[in-house]
Structure 1
Amino acid sequence: MREFWVDPKRSISNAYEKTDEAILSHESDLGRGGSTSVTAVLINGQRLWVANLGDSRAVLSKGGEAIQMSTDHEPSTERVSIEHKGGFVSNMPGDVPRVNGQLAVSRAFGDKSLKSHLRSDPAIHDTTVDNKTDLLVLASDGLWKVMDNQEVVDIARRIKDPQKAAKRLIAEALKRESKDDISCVVVRFR
């Protein structure tokens, strides 16, 4: 715990590493798949740390302006790393780039069969929360595939209750026929 206060970035990275190890060690119970992740930690109400793997995303609103706080880990952007590890990135017509023709993200928890080609270290970003900071949206790719960052912020800002805002965003993604998993959390700062 003390390490967290001294070096939050390292602590978050270590937590992700331990999570990946735990998932891989329980593969027989959990199955052979994997997961993406997005995490937010607010320290003293002032410093916001965001970490993610894969295509789960964090978007912050400052004065109504959407600011993406995470990095989408797509195979096409990390092709060199994947190929250096002996994998390949395929891009069939009408589809998205995939690691070894299977996985549409280049970083993930689990996915043991592809682990030698994937990374499980998170992208970590931090920022100061100030009086312009309205809210934070954490969501899986099912939301982001059918809505852009600013649109999500605009909808969430109109609804005072963060739980209702998250439900509204999910309903909108379903209305737009999102074909992927949809999970969403909205955090209000003021």
Structure 2
Amino acid sequence: MFCCEEESYHMYAVFDGHGGESIARHCSETMHKAVAEEARKLPAVGSGASMSDWARDVFTGAFHSVDSTAHAAQAQGAGSTAVVALVGGGYVAVGNCGDSRAVLCRGGRALPLSADHKPERPDEMRRVEELGGQVVFWNGYRVMGVLAMSRAIGDHCLRPFVVPDPEVRVEALADEDDFLILASDGLWDALSNDDACNAAARALARWRQEGERASSPARTAKCGGRKTGEQLAADVLVRLAIARGSADNVSAVVVDLKAHRPSKRAAAECAAGGAASAVDMACE
């Protein structure tokens, strides 16, 4: 969690590494600091900037900052996805680079908040080809026949074709919003958005029915902390993806939006805060 002017934000992220753990680890150690730094440089939302503009500037600056310092951390050919969510001020903002994904469960329906950066995506293929690169089908579509995603942190040997530019989406939170799922492609390869939302909803409902209750954010806000119900739902998703035959490593974070609203008091107590994140360190 971090404070920005009169608002506080909770940050959650999943980083799915390839070519080794170095860049995913680097992202987990630096992204929350970069996001907080970029946010504090900008005017508060409502004082000259819309939430969409603010989030775009924050995520773009943070992703490029983390990428620019990845040289020291990376082995040759190493990289990582990054899907990062900020929850605060009545909004959820998502910045995404790579093929990890964010999905909002709203009133029992799945609403994707990011689009996977796959080389076969028409606009991504066009971008790569206009820069003089190629998308080659070699055990799936790959940039220059190497990487099965078109954007990533790291992968500097594939510049300018593979870039750290995030796509950003902002959604105003509604009363019917239940929870947010952030997960690596190992989960989405095995589960549809709807399947994931249904499974997580059942897990959270079961946890509540067993008599446990979510603690107030003001009492339990610890940088990087997760509630029991959220962790149970994330564990269920991971186990389900593996049971359905996911061939990739799987990481997931579930954020209970009804029980995990940010508070300014908690933010003040955690001003130097971190982020809840899942670091996926296995190689593709």
Which TM bucket (shorter chain)? over 0.9
Question: Structure 1 stretches of 5 or more lacking a match?
Answer: none
Q: Does 55-64 or 112-121 show the bigger shift? A: 112-121
Instruction: Give the paired residue count.
Output: 185
Counterpart position of 2:67:
20
Counterpart position of 2:149:
105
Note the C-alpha offset of 1:179. Answer: 1.4
TM alignment of 1:38-117, pairs within 5 A: 38-44=83-89, 46-77=90-121, 78-92=124-138, 95-117=139-161
CA separation of 1:135 and 1:4: change in aligned 2, threshold 3 A:
farther
Note the C-alpha offset of 1:24. Answer: 2.8
Secondary structure of residue in 1 paired with 2:197: helix
Q: Does 170-179 or 139-148 show the bigger shift? A: 170-179
Moved over 6 A (4+): none
Matching residue's letter, 1:33: A
Cα-Cα RMSD: 1.4
User: Does 2:78 align with 1:33?
Assistant: yes
Deviations 1:116-170 (A, max 9, x none): 2112110100001111000000000000001100000000011121100100100
If you compute each CA radius of gyration, which structure gives the higher value, 1 or 2?
A: 2
Taking every aligned residue pair, what percent have the same amino acid on both sides?
Answer: 36
CA contact (8 A) 2:55 2:168 kept: no
Deviations 1:82-125 (A, max 9, x none): 11222110114xx3210011101000010121122112110100
Note the C-alpha offset of 1:32. Answer: 2.8
CA contact (8 A) 1:88 1:100 kept: yes
- The 1-side partners of 2:186 and 2:125 are apart by 23
Q: 1:188 aligns with which of 256, 264, 268?
A: 256
Note the C-alpha offset of 1:11. Answer: 1.3
TM-score (normalizing by structure 1): 0.92
Counterpart position of 2:176:
132
